[in-house]
Structure 1
């Protein structure tokens, strides 16, 4: 006699999980980035395409007769031969100012991170405080500091560092000093953020292994703060290479930089083809130098 098979009990129907991702939830991130994408398209991509088209205008055009986009790549050769020295001067001054910002900014950031104690926040506020005033006001203030009748010039002349007829204002030294001062906070803040993360036990361990101060800095401190150094370099060099206010207010008329040429070509001479070619060329130089620098010295963590 065979026994009948006992049927399995019915499985209870589980309610659908309302959190189960559906088609709408999967597309939610795209909706969230849509405003940013529209913003970038309106204020970056479209102006960039327009700038590239302007750089390829027929140079025979004018504001009155109009310009034609004729893929005139000769515009780039023209601006390089005409303004090449100004472009090199802009890059060179920006490199010097960036180097000064890194050196002095690193010292100041290290001091704020480890030596100021409870006054750390006050020191950071003092670093940011210059941003509460206008860029032009801060730059014009340096005209008083570096002027021929200023206390600084008189002091340097009394110490025979400067001659009786020597000056600082209207020289490349004044323009580079203005660049260094105005962009110093852009270097200090990322450096401070990176330095503050250092585990002091690693520095102490280096000392226990008989490493002196310089070797500890080169082998321990500097590699750990390399992301901050890279960020500080980019945040300082990129705006400094296109800056022309410091050169215009603190430098001499003979030492023109590329930003002054672009501004003059767009507004005064209205040579849009040359102005666009210079702008695209400057953009390419910044882009290539940034990629090479990050590829050579970059790390996985860029602050």
Structure 2
């Protein structure tokens, strides 16, 4: 009974800062400026279908890149000594100690046409070599204000969310299971394909969820690294609440639809995760 009283501050916090805002979002999504029930907010979203497409395409691209980078990194780290793991994890988490916007501004400086990357390439003579070979007048690579820069920002900021769950799952795989497979004649490739990868899939699915959700809802990256040329869902929602096109009812409807889509995808990922755990146990 005493332990239940300890949960009261948490319940109050959740009610004020989680439940109440969600209720307001639902109320605003189904009402108009006169507080009348309406579905016009949802029908008006058809104009912004390209924003949905851009958000999901870029988020999927960033998630796939994080898998391609994060899984091998997690796998090799799980094979290293404890000291190497600690140093590697510190380096992976170190950027997270810095403010999100500061990290993004740093990438703006690096990717600019006159930024550090282009200056370095110019100093080593790469542009002169390309111009001599192909007869061009290239002075820099245009990387900033592109969709590629947005994806790069997503990967850089959210890669730790892919590495940590995968590493945690692989690190907990019982070495006896791997030894048993090797004793039965399985090659290293077969051990990875039949044992390690299936057992690590729950970590992969957790990483996919943790990377995809913030990627699909981000707004600062598209404005700073994309130059505002690519409208994403986060930008669209922000515009409805803070921009000149002030319409909190439409913004709430878009936010509600996005939340439903994310919850459905999380449910699907969890279902696959449960299935993979069952297969692995068999």
Category of TM-score, reference length = shorter chain: 0.7 to 0.9
Instruction: Tell me the equivalent position of 1:291.
Output: 267
Instruction: Tell me the equivalent position of 2:189.
Output: 214
Instruction: Tell me the equivalent position of 1:6.
Output: none
SS at match of 2:7: helix
Residue 71 (structure 1) aligned to one of 33, 37, 46 = 37
Question: How big is the shift at 1:215?
Answer: 2.5
Residue 45 (structure 1) aligned to one of 12, 19, 27 = 19
What is the TM-score when the length of structure 2 is the normalising length? 0.85
Residue 257 (structure 1) aligned to one of 232, 239, 254 = 232
Instruction: Tell me the equivalent position of 2:280.
Output: none
SS at match of 2:35: coil
Residue 202 (structure 1) aligned to one of 177, 180, 187 = 177
Instruction: Tell me the equivalent position of 2:4.
Output: 30
The question of whether the paired residues in 2 share the 8 Å contact of 1:172 and 1:252 is answered with no
Matches within 5 A, 1:167-206: 167-206=142-181
Go from structure 1 to structure 2 and tell me whether the alpha carbon gap of 1:105 and 1:74 turns closer, same or farther (over 3 Å shift): same
Instruction: Tell me the equivalent position of 1:85.
Output: 50
Go from structure 1 to structure 2 and tell me whether the alpha carbon gap of 1:232 and 1:148 turns closer, same or farther (over 3 Å shift): same
Ranges in structure 2 where 5+ consecutive residues have no aligned partner: 278-282
The question of whether the paired residues in 1 share the 8 Å contact of 2:41 and 2:253 is answered with yes
The question of whether the paired residues in 2 share the 8 Å contact of 1:230 and 1:298 is answered with no
SS at match of 2:270: helix
Go from structure 1 to structure 2 and tell me whether the alpha carbon gap of 1:83 and 1:219 turns closer, same or farther (over 3 Å shift): same
CA distance in 2 between partners of 1:193 and 1:117 (Å) = 13
CA distance in 2 between partners of 1:208 and 1:293 (Å) = 34
Question: How big is the shift at 1:123?
Answer: 1.5
Structure having the higher Rg? 1
Instruction: Tell me the equivalent position of 1:137.
Output: 102
Go from structure 1 to structure 2 and tell me whether the alpha carbon gap of 1:116 and 1:172 turns closer, same or farther (over 3 Å shift): farther
Structure (1 or 2) with the greater helix fraction = 2
Question: How big is the shift at 1:210?
Answer: 3.4
Tell me whether 117-126 or 266-275 shows the greater mean CA deviation. Answer: 117-126
SS at match of 2:113: coil
CA distance in 2 between partners of 1:229 and 1:166 (Å) = 34
Instruction: Tell me the equivalent position of 1:276.
Output: 252
The question of whether the paired residues in 2 share the 8 Å contact of 1:112 and 1:124 is answered with no
The question of whether the paired residues in 2 share the 8 Å contact of 1:147 and 1:169 is answered with yes
Number of positions where the alignment pairs a residue of Structure 1 with one of Structure 2: 265
SS at match of 1:115: coil
CA distance in 2 between partners of 1:106 and 1:170 (Å) = 29
Instruction: Tell me the equivalent position of 1:122.
Output: 87
Residue 223 (structure 1) aligned to one of 198, 203, 210 = 198
